[in-house]
Structure 1
Amino acid sequence: MKIRKFKMFIRSVMPSFFQLLAIAKYSNLLQIYKFRTKYPNVRIFPHTVMRVKKGFYSLDNQDFILDRYFFKGKKKGFFCDIGGNHPLIGNNTKYFEDLGWRGVVFEPLPHMVELWTKQRKAKLFSIALSDNEGEGSFAVSEYSDGVMSFMKNTSLGALDKSEIYDIKVRTRLFKDVMNEENITHIDYLSLDVEGHEMNVLKGIDFNKVRIDVLTIENHSLYGDDNIRNMMINNGYIFWGRVMNLDDIYVHTDYKVS
């Protein structure tokens, strides 16, 4: 009874807060309903920053999801982290490295290179992957560890221009690096390059490198169908969606161990 009265009191003094909360819940349900209608067979996971279990690192439990449904504590594997950013905080591949996996990472930000060298075992390539060989321009926020814009195809939005700076980095094709490193199989690939995902995917030869499971940032309300069509055309199942954030793809021939 006391709890009920307390809730009623809170609602009386903060009606707008509860209205906003109700709208937020309704909005999320509406998003899920619309997505489910379009993709009835795709598993849906909430966009949340709360980790479900200790020992995992991903921002939205991607590593936990993959381990639970696919890898199940697998001790030996190979990962590829494209756009690794911080080697520990919110990282999708750190958990698997802790299990004994080997891997490669592509991270062009200079201030992240030193962290990766000190805190991770994966082979680091301080370059950006794209659909062409050359040089790319990154716009980086001084108040963030993340890339805010890559090349010319993303907007910096409302960021104050005085808060950002540009860096030039070498760009290469994924397939060329894999060929040089003699890599033909990847258990898990994490792709998160702030809107540049399609360019990276165009540089992958899926006939030369077998990738079992991928998480690809598809950061919009319902995601970009161009990415999904490309993956499906290359032999992948659109398996899961972390709402408003990542798509999860699984090769049609992949068998869960």
Structure 2
Amino acid sequence: MGHGDERFRLVAYGQNAEDVVLVRAFADRRAGFFVDVGAGDPVRGSLTKNLVDRLGWRGVNVEPLPERFERLRRQRPEDVNLRVAVDTEPGTATFYRILPEGSPEDMLGLSTLESAIAAEHVRGGADVAELEVTVVTLESILVAYASPGFDLLKVDVEGREAAVLASADLGFWRPRVVVAEATVPGSPEPSHQDWEPELLAAGYALALFDGLNRFYARDDEPELLTRLSVPANVWDRWIPWACAQRAGLNL
């Protein structure tokens, strides 16, 4: 842990400490594999940085925003980094780059394919720019880079989670864990009813809802389901990334 504070063993980069839950769940899984749809920044808000740094994982980062894609390409050269969006049909689409009013340039986590969501942000004073992006299906990404039974599928696409999950045969690919953002963008209102029934039918069980994301494990892995079932807490000995930065900790 270098020169870190011994009260802590882990920095949480995820905004809701989702990565702490994943490190706990996969603590004995070295060199695992993930597919991260809506990967975002390689550090701030990343659910996979700890898996990469601590457990030697590699994976596929899917990120249509050019500035975030470039950071991923520079900082994750051993991963596959794809500057595309994911939807039910391949082609091209308009992607809305959303920067909330008064936010720094790196706070782009609300960007979306959903025009209605973009319009809501315009009404709220956000700066919204349109980008044309290449669109592929999740199935095509998995065919190119994954193997059935890979470790983690994470989906955070601001209102298009149902389309992403519907664009692959998860009953065939059977990732061990699926984490999906499960509320209406910018709201605590649940949105999982749009896609959860199909996921459960593919052989998954809900492990945890943390107020923002829903964590699922395959129903044939009860131990993994148990490890995922508790949110990040004091026994995980973690500290938020922003606090670690201010304290100069090197965990």
Shorter-chain-normalised TM-score: which range?
A: 0.7 to 0.9
Q: Cα 1:117–1:199, aligned 2, differ >3 Å: closer, same or farther?
A: same
Give the residue type in structure 1 aligned to 2:189: L
Moved more, 109-118 or 139-148: 139-148
How far apart, in 1, do the equivalents of 2:118 and 2:126 lie? 15
Please tell me whether residue 122 in structure 1 is matched to residue 85 in structure 2.
Answer: no
Indicate the RMSD between aligned Cα atoms, in angstroms: 2.1
Give the residue type in structure 1 aligned to 2:27: K
Deviations 1:40-97 (A, max 9, x none): xxxxxxxxxxxx86333111111111222x2125322111111011111010011101
Matched with 1:24 is: none
Please tell me whether residue 196 in structure 1 is matched to residue 163 in structure 2.
Answer: no
Answer whether contact 2:96 2:118 (CA < 8 A) is retained: no
Shift of 1:182: 5.1
How far apart, in 2, do the equivalents of 1:242 and 1:153 lie? 26
Give the residue type in structure 2 aligned to 1:201: L
Please tell me whether residue 242 in structure 1 is matched to residue 202 in structure 2.
Answer: no
**Residue from 100, 116, 133 that aligns with 2:90:** 133
How far apart, in 2, do the equivalents of 1:174 and 1:162 lie? 29
Answer whether contact 1:213 1:250 (CA < 8 A) is retained: yes
TM-score normalised by structure 2 residue count: 0.74
SS in 2 for 1:183: coil
Matches within 5 A, 1:77-92: 77-92=32-47
Please tell me whether residue 218 in structure 1 is matched to residue 186 in structure 2.
Answer: no
Matches within 5 A, 1:23-38: none
Answer whether contact 2:98 2:126 (CA < 8 A) is retained: no
Q: Cα 1:145–1:203, aligned 2, differ >3 Å: closer, same or farther?
A: same
Identity %: 25
Aligned residues: 204
Matched with 1:31 is: none
Q: Following TM superposition, where does structure 1 have runs of at least 4 consecutive aligned residues deviating by more than 4 angstroms?
A: none
Q: Cα 1:156–1:87, aligned 2, differ >3 Å: closer, same or farther?
A: farther
Matched with 1:233 is: 201
Q: Cα 1:105–1:55, aligned 2, differ >3 Å: closer, same or farther?
A: same
Shift of 1:113: 1.5
Answer whether contact 1:136 1:169 (CA < 8 A) is retained: yes
Listed as ranges, the gaps of 5+ residues in structure 2 are 1-7, 225-251
Shift of 1:132: 0.5
TM-score normalised by structure 1 residue count: 0.73
Listed as ranges, the gaps of 5+ residues in structure 1 are 1-51
Asked which structure has the greater CA Rg, the reply is 1
Answer whether contact 2:88 2:163 (CA < 8 A) is retained: yes
How far apart, in 1, do the equivalents of 2:34 and 2:175 lie? 9
Matched with 2:51 is: 96
Give the residue type in structure 2 aligned to 1:74: R
Matched with 1:152 is: 115
Larger RCO (CA under 8 A, 6+ residues apart) = 2
